[in-house]
Amino acid sequence: MRSNLRQNIRLTKNILRVISAFVIALKIANFNNYLQAHMRGKFSFEKEAENKALELGCKGTHKNKDKWLPCQNEKELHKYLRK
């Protein structure tokens, strides 16, 4: 009886480890997608960002630090980059 309980506890711990690893992997993958989307949308010149905005289907550009980005804001940019 006691050995069954220990086996069940061990099995439960292993299942939780696998689930935790899976959740962490999903979070990392989602973060990497965010970074890739963001890097594809940064330009040194406003004209490049305007051209990318036309290609994406959004309007306008905006500046983030020293880089130009297509679309009116980052929320809109990420919406179009994920299509």
Give 2-48 pLDDT, tens digit per residue: 778 888 888 888 898 988 887 777 666 555 544 544 556 688 899 99
Comparing CA positions, the residue from 52, 44, 28, 62 lying closest to residue 75 is 62
Element spanning 75, H or E: helix 74-81
Look up residue 58 and give its DSSP letter.
Answer: -
Q: Which residues contact 63 (CB under 8 A, 6 or more apart)?
A: 46, 69
Q: What number of other Cβ atoms are within 10 A of residue 10's Cβ?
A: 10
Q: What is the pLDDT of residue 78?
A: 82
Q: What is the pLDDT of residue 53?
A: 93
pTM for the whole structure: 0.52
